[in-house]
Structure 1
């Protein structure tokens, strides 16, 4: 990690901030991208993503940005509330994956996009389209991994379970009556220690397990 440029999209809070802190502690040069970050802008803006990657040329790009889902039963959703995470999380993942390949990042670079373990189990019935949006993120990251292989860029999806001390985690725990989950620091440390190559990993018990 030493002497490596790391860009964290959504790095001012929650898992993004934990990853940024862990990368700094490991000796990396870290740039935080958020609406109020070191580099401020809209993570869903294609031109902004192109500009950030061209200027910073990260060896590791971590995308954690997304919206807090609206929690309510299906019958009480509107399409606008139901599709919150499709319009934010999926678009952000698409924009940064695309930008990394179009630049492209240097061979040996890696892109890690955060999804959610909600897509693997019974979904998240109170959070509208959240689980489906996260499943789509894993799917398009897989598409990108295939296309980026010849560029030498690895594309990885990480699927944490409900994590305390994040906006999404706090909202979900309150809605579902959950009390426990992995710490931000544990997930961040595991993410930075992932082996080389593309793929997808889910948080299971106390560690990330490859899918």
Structure 2
């Protein structure tokens, strides 16, 4: 299977890892539909940009019906706070539950309820924070753990589409990654550059995009994958 002339919908495709996915899929010959609240950053990319609130269930249903994607990639979410627990309000702490988790809930549910293209592949981005914790990120790790679980539940209930989760490592240079770099470097009392230098294999948007292209074209995929600068590998592999 190749992505040439296939439709790929990327929810959260205007920045960061999602932007890397958009560019890689377009380079692979796919028709790419990038969904984001702010589509202005996509004006320089040859894709169809759709402005929408990814947490809105009607938007999920409408866009799935309109585009019937061969591949659906969910990357969208809120930026975590990047400060210690004692500095958070409940609204700060729960932001990722209301964004990341709800996006997964609404879109995965919509896929299960609609008539998908035969062989549809759904790739959902969580985070390695769901495995390791993230003490400066409020409810982010827990929200991403639920995103992972929702993807597994959808896989169990699916009668057609294949659902798989991708758990990326910290990605310096992205909005979320830079929040983590600033927070953890300050916590350790070192410069941000020194913190990044200690990372064995920093993840980049281009590596994330290549991973999604690979997952989209494999004959079969595992339940979950880890993703870092070295690429993807099955979570239990």
TM-score (norm 1): 0.95
Structure 1 runs (4+) deviating above 3 angstroms are none
Q: Does 1:18 align with 2:20?
A: yes
Find the aligned partners of 1:48 and 1:190 in 2 and give their Cα distance.
Answer: 27
Find the aligned partners of 2:23 and 2:231 in 1 and give their Cα distance.
Answer: 19
Tell me the residue number matched to 1:35: 37
Residue 131 (structure 2) aligned to one of 109, 113, 120: 120
Superposed CA deviations along residues 108-149 of structure 1, whole A, max 9, x for unmatched, are: 00111100011112x00011111111011000100000111x
User: C-alpha root-mean-square deviation of aligned residues, in Å?
Assistant: 1.2
Q: Does 1:56 align with 2:67?
A: yes
Greater mean deviation of Cα atoms: 32-41 or 8-17: 32-41
Find the aligned partners of 1:167 and 1:205 in 2 and give their Cα distance.
Answer: 17
Residue 86 (structure 1) aligned to one of 85, 90, 97: 97
Structure with the greater alpha carbon radius of gyration: 2
Secondary structure in 1 matching 2:92: helix
Tell me the residue number matched to 1:209: 233
Superposed CA deviations along residues 77-111 of structure 1, whole A, max 9, x for unmatched, are: 11111111011100001111111111131220011
Q: Does 1:184 align with 2:218?
A: no
Alignment length (residue pairs): 208
Cα deviation, residue 204, structure 1: 4.8
List alignment gaps of at least 5 residues for structure 2.
40-48, 186-194
Tell me the residue number matched to 1:143: 153
Tell me the residue number matched to 1:74: 85
